[in-house]
Amino acid sequence: SVFSHQVCSPLIQAARCYARPVRRKVKDIPSHLDDLPPTMLKKDYANVPAVNSVDDVVRRLLSLEMASQKEKMKIKTEQLVEKVRRSPHDNGSFEVQVAILTAKIRTFEEHLQKHPKDKNNLRRMLMAVDRRMKLLTYLRRVRYQTFEKTCQVLGIQYNPPPAYSRRVTKRWLVKKAFCLKVYQEARKLKAPERLKKRREWQARARAAREQAAQLEG
């Protein structure tokens, strides 16, 4: 019995270890919402005068200490928008859209660090990143100073998209030459029709000018 116990004990020990639930250590991931003070009131109650006369329990319920992630996101988004908006009533400029997308992207990044297999939120984040890249590219081309200020204030590192390059092969050159030849032949076939339409348009314009001259005379 001692021998059998010595032989079977490793198997029993392995089975016990296999059946034991694995406890994963939850990493403490920093959030971009950590800088919001817990004593700050929610967005819907910040400008209510009666809030100052309530007791501490009600004030805690109305503050960010008991707020949800969605309510904290509203305040964080409003803070980012206030940094870049052109006027107090600016709610749709390119800078404001970039600030709103930045708040969403940072929330998606934190969520994906905890749940890396969430493909749906990954797709949403990539769509938001692509949209923000297009807005920043437009700002960089049209209003460069505003672009620099927006990236500096929001902490965005802009990496311009690489220039499009295509490998030139013999097959591609032959295909391109064939397409050009087909295009030129098609233009030759449609040339009489284009000339006819042009002459009709010129005749109508000439008739309109003559009619206008007769009315004036």
pLDDT digits (tens, 9 = 90+) for 58-76: 767 777 777 777 888 888 8
Q: Which of 117, 135, 160 is the last residue of a domain?
A: 160
Structure tokens at 193: 């029709």
Greatest mean pLDDT among 3-12, 21-30, 200-209 lies in 200-209
CA distance 37 to 203: 76
Rounded to whole angstroms, how far apart are CA atoms 83 and 1? 78
Phi, psi dihedral angles at 87 (to 5 degrees) = -145, 165
* Domain co-membership, 26 together with 92: yes
**pLDDT tens digit sequence for 26-43:** 566 777 777 776 777 666
> Could you tell me if 65 and 101 lie in one domain?
yes
Mean pLDDT in the chain?
Answer: 82
Q: Quick one: 107 and 43 in the same domain?
A: yes
Least confident residue range of 21-30, 38-47, 122-131: 21-30
Tokens standing for residue 133: 């890249």
Provide the number of structural domains found in the chain: 2
pLDDT exceeds 70 at position 147? yes
pTM of the model: 0.59
Per-residue confidence at 55, pLDDT binned at 50, 70, 90?
A: low
Q: Which residues contact 146 (CB under 8 A, 6 or more apart)?
A: 94, 95, 139
- Sorted by sequence, the CB contacts under 8 Å of residue 153 that are 6+ apart come out as 83, 84
Per the model's pLDDT, the better-predicted residue between 49 and 170 turns out to be 170
Residues 127 and 192 in one domain: no
Through-space distance between the first and last CA atoms of the chain, rounded to whole angstroms: 129
- Phi–psi pair at 41, nearest 5 degrees: -75, 160
Is residue 166, in this structure, part of any structural domain at all?
no
pLDDT in the model for residue 212: 87
The per-residue pLDDT for 43 is 65
Q: Residue 143: how many CB atoms within 10 A of its CB?
A: 14
Check whether residue 99 and residue 19 sit in a common domain: yes
Vertex 45 angle, CA 98 and 64, to 5°:
70
16 pLDDT more than 60: no
Whole-number Å distance between alpha carbons of 107 and 76: 11
Give the helix, strand, coil percentages of the chain, each rounded to 5. 70, 0, 30
Q: Which domain holds residue 89?
A: 10-160
Instruction: Please choose, from the candidates 79, 94, 87, the residue with its C-alpha nearest in 3D space to the C-alpha of residue 132.
Output: 94
Q: For residue 1, what pLDDT is reported?
A: 45
Q: What sign does the CA torsion over 205, 208, 214, 217 have?
A: negative
Q: How confident is the model at residue 188 (pLDDT cuts 50, 70, 90)?
A: very high
Position 199 pLDDT exceeds 50: yes
pLDDT confidence of residue 160 = 81
Section 9-15 average pLDDT:
58
Q: Are residues 193 and 112 in the same domain?
A: no
- Same domain for 136 and 186, yes or no, is no
Q: Residue 205 has what DSSP assignment?
A: H
CA distances from 119 to 66, 115, 116, 124, 176 (A): 30, 9, 8, 9, 39
